[in-house]
A and B are shown apart, each in its own frame.
Chain A
């Protein structure tokens, strides 16, 4: 039996910039996969837009006779929907030209971006919370509950203390962080001490937090006087995050989000704790052997992650909602999971992903009111992006990206 498996050695030649660029583009680079995932989601979204419109769909019934009709109508619908999405997220060119020619207000031109940033701000914090925990090997499903606790603590502090300006805001923000820290520390401690899996405990704590909030807002002293529905007193204006007011809802929270992103990036890459958590996340056995306390790292990490999510909840109450309601935290904790995944667990990537999700949310509002496309399409787009990100092999197969070397057999070709 003869075997002659060989690999050709390519002659070393000078590569042009374009060669290198194309090779990097088509290799299994994750940035490419992310961009292509978004593109794929948009394409499938377009199909859904057409399918969900009965008027356009009717034109497809005589597609073979006059295909132009159906295609034209589809294209009109899709382009209208997506241009509304873009206008709602980034701004309407008409509003800008009105502003520049003096016939419109600058506030109207900038309102879409303001909306995008407003929706993005809390997602940055919850996304960072999930990313950071993930780098330490923990799956923090509890960002939602931690954000709810952040809302509660920040809200209570915001209407209770009546401190002077600036100080009141700082105290309320710190309260929000501490609320989240508490809700992160508990599962961290349970994991470190008893080995209780953080996924289970954080899911349970999500329910606890949500139900606690629902109970709390209808208690005497919390509920707004004279109201019978579930809403708390309003946060004192001195405790609110400053914003431009009017249609520009964007508030200081987005600035805070950028600062905190930089802080988390520093923590991960330049701090001793970041080193510990990355070591524990990548190989807890080796970390333990090198003298790093895995239990302590888990506990501190969950507390820090909880604090981040709590801060996200606090910005939601102090910057946007100004009062507690049972749904004040919306879905920011769970969206944070998706944001972290899309941002590939890197701080700046998470920030970018949160901005994208914020833009989809803001644009979706306009798409719904102008083009009559259900806001749910935005959820579908978000979900599709995440599905494609989670299945890179699928994306690579669709675009015929150069296949990974070992074709998924888990064989390490490096070993002799």
Chain B
């Protein structure tokens, strides 16, 4: 059961934040409001009228629009085509010609009315994520909705794009629209929300106002006090473990993604790579892991050349790797937790050899790790897909930390992970550092990089722009992330 007797009320012109950990039931609730799921009990009342939504069409007709966490856009269609999709205007009856001109005009009109610039002729696949999201919002607004549901809208945005989005939300509420803002990011909630409802395990556990402190909100969400700061002692760097010099890597389309990167990570330190998603961090890490071809330059682990080696060899050399996209690259969702915990060790003692697996050892290991890493699952035999995002991530981290490591690489270690698990994962990463492992953390969350790293490398368009200390002012790092070097001159932010 994902929702249990939840009551929420949204007033006109307010931003109502729905705060909760992953798996708390926020999306389930909103999918019922949007007609994707039907409630087993209870009712939805719009402007004092009880409504039954059989499909999103009903919800839109009642003035409710939704922007999903994963955009529902057709990449090869233009902006105008995507916005028209589902409510296409035709000339000459329902089977007539598509009225593209009118679709285009509608887009421009809405975009102007709400101050949301979009190019109606651009292809979706050519647009950055922030612009795609704007298209989703414009699409909802052209349907004349009064209530807009934004499901984790900031998860994919850069800090600057996030500020822009918050400004847009503010101006929409000023025009009388209501917004339900689903998130688990406390800072944003405090910045924008008029009212906050906190959901835990499918139930409303409290309501709050924006002046509630972050610690209090986090405690409400998780159900216990959590520490938002990463607790760590100063690093004691040893010898250089990973050395990358002059590294050049191409992305999937053959475009240069990493363009001459030099960096080194020492034993017992955390090097954080900050940067807006898509500036070559992914390709850099994949090249180090042997998952992507090294075009030029060298990658050395304790002066052993890694370039051109297979991923298996690199892992066996003592490298632990947490990929950025957990469900794509981290776990096999159809496999059990026990199987996922040995995904890279299945053919080695004690779990097996080149021919056979030792089920008893595999199950024993699973029991141990589940306990050690606090993985919440019904049993080690549950499929990984049945776990929440945070627990899936713990499975990956448990697997990668369960052998002696020289280098630990974590990409977006806490993306889509609930607050309680974030704390746990951060503590584990620092513990790994304190045991003398060299740690490389890539994250597009600046807070995370600043909290974990002993040195921060800022990456922009395939290059390392600067390596700075975590004590550097945020604004300065933010500007570096936007590619602006030199002294920060202008004030940042929109609020």
Interface residues of A (CB under 8 A from B): 1-9, 270-276, 278-279, 282-283, 285-293, 406-407, 409, 411-416
Contact of A282 among B45, B311, B335 (CB under 8 A): B335
Nearest chain A CB to B436 CB, angstrom units: 24
| A/B interface sample: 27 pairs, CB < 8 A | A1-B147, A2-B9, A2-B44, A3-B45, A5-B29, A5-B32, A5-B44, A6-B4, A7-B202, A9-B4, A270-B356, A271-B355, A271-B357, A272-B353, A275-B347, A282-B335, A285-B328, A288-B311, A289-B323, A291-B312, A406-B37, A407-B38, A411-B31, A412-B27, A413-B37, A415-B27, A416-B24
Do residues A5 and B45 form an inter-chain contact, with CB atoms below 8 A?
A: no
Q: Which residues of A contact B28 (CB under 8 A)?
A: 413, 415-416
Candidate in A289, A406, A411, A413 with the most chain B CB atoms within 10 angstroms: A289
Known contacts A1-B47, A272-B353, A285-B329; decide if A411 and B37 are in contact (CB<8 Å).
yes
Q: Which residues of A contact B26 (CB under 8 A)?
A: 416
Do residues B355 and A5 form an inter-chain contact, with CB atoms below 8 A?
A: no
B1-25 near A? 1/0 per residue, CB < 8 Å: 1111111111000000000111111
B352 beta carbon closer than 8 Å to chain A: yes
Contact of B6 among A5, A8, A286 (CB under 8 A): A5
Do residues A3 and B312 form an inter-chain contact, with CB atoms below 8 A?
A: no
Nearest chain A CB to B342 CB, angstrom units: 8
Which residue in chain A gives the minimum CB-CB distance to B45?
A2
Which residue in chain A gives the minimum CB-CB distance to B385?
A414
Q: What 10 A-B pairs have minimum CB-CB distances, sorted nearest first?
A: A5-B39, A291-B312, A6-B42, A4-B42, A5-B32, A290-B344, A290-B343, A2-B45, A416-B24, A282-B334
In Å, the complex CA distance between A7 and B314 comes to: 49
Do residues A283 and B333 form an inter-chain contact, with CB atoms below 8 A?
A: yes
Interface residues of B (CB under 8 A from A): 1-10, 20-29, 31-33, 36-47, 147, 178, 199, 202, 289, 291, 310-316, 321, 323, 328-335, 339, 343-344, 346-347, 352-357, 359, 386, 388-389
Which residue in chain A gives the minimum CB-CB distance to B200?
A416
Known contacts A3-B8, A5-B33, A416-B20; decide if A272 and B39 are in contact (CB<8 Å).
no
Known contacts A4-B44, A414-B388; decide if A289 and B335 are in contact (CB<8 Å).
no
In Å, the complex CA distance between A15 and B155 comes to: 43
Q: Which residues of B contact A291 (CB under 8 A)?
A: 310-316, 344
Nearest chain B CB to A152 CB, angstrom units: 31
In Å, the complex CA distance between A1 and B333 comes to: 38
Q: Which residues of B contact A1 (CB under 8 A)?
A: 9-10, 44-47, 147, 178
Given contacts A7-B41, A279-B335, 10 further A-B contacts (CB under 8 A): A1-B178, A2-B45, A4-B7, A5-B6, A8-B40, A279-B332, A285-B329, A286-B328, A407-B38, A413-B2
Contact of A271 among B4, B42, B356 (CB under 8 A): B356
Do residues B312 and A293 form an inter-chain contact, with CB atoms below 8 A?
A: yes
Which residue in chain A gives the minimum CB-CB distance to B147?
A1
Q: Which residues of B contact A292 (CB under 8 A)?
A: 312, 343-344
Q: How many A-B residue pairs have CB under 8 A?
A: 167
Do residues A6 and B6 form an inter-chain contact, with CB atoms below 8 A?
A: yes
Q: Which residues of A contact B1 (CB under 8 A)?
A: 7, 9
Do residues B23 and A416 form an inter-chain contact, with CB atoms below 8 A?
A: yes
Q: Which residues of A contact B47 (CB under 8 A)?
A: 1
Q: Which residues of B contact A3 (CB under 8 A)?
A: 6-10, 29, 32-33, 44-45
In Å, the complex CA distance between A7 and B202 comes to: 9
Contact of A6 among B5, B22, B37, B354 (CB under 8 A): B5
In Å, the complex CA distance between A291 and B329 comes to: 11
Q: Which residues of A contact B346 (CB under 8 A)?
A: 272, 275-276
Nearest chain A CB to B252 CB, angstrom units: 12
Q: Which residues of B contact A271 (CB under 8 A)?
A: 355-357
Do residues A282 and B9 form an inter-chain contact, with CB atoms below 8 A?
A: no
Which residue in chain A gives the minimum CB-CB distance to B334?
A282
Q: Which residues of A contact B291 (CB under 8 A)?
A: 288-289
Q: Which residues of B contact A273 (CB under 8 A)?
A: 355
Which residue in chain B gives the minimum CB-CB distance to A412?
B27
